Amino acid sequence: MNENRSVWALNGLTGGLIATALLLSILAVLTFYAIGVQSANSENYYKIVDEKSIKMFSTENAKHLVDAK
């Protein structure tokens, strides 16, 4: 049984390196897209209209936010 073991098999060192590279590449892609979304929305400003009539618990509070563009 011990003759089939290998450090370079997919369940050994090579598999660990492949898994690490895969996880790091997924992290890099998701970070890239997150930075893109953040920069696209960083200049999307809102203006609060009639702030005196905003209630603490109300579903109509979303009507007070208006795009400033």
Q: Is the pLDDT of residue 1 over 80?
A: no
Domain count, the chain: 1
Q: Is the pLDDT of residue 68 over 80?
A: no
Model-wide pTM > 0.85: no
Is residue 5 scored above 80 in pLDDT?
no
Is pLDDT above 70 for 41?
Answer: yes
Do the beta carbons of residue 48 and residue 65 sit within 8 Å?
Answer: yes
- CA separation for the pair 64, 49 (Å, rounded): 5
Strand partners, 3: none
Structural domain for 60, as ranges: 2-67
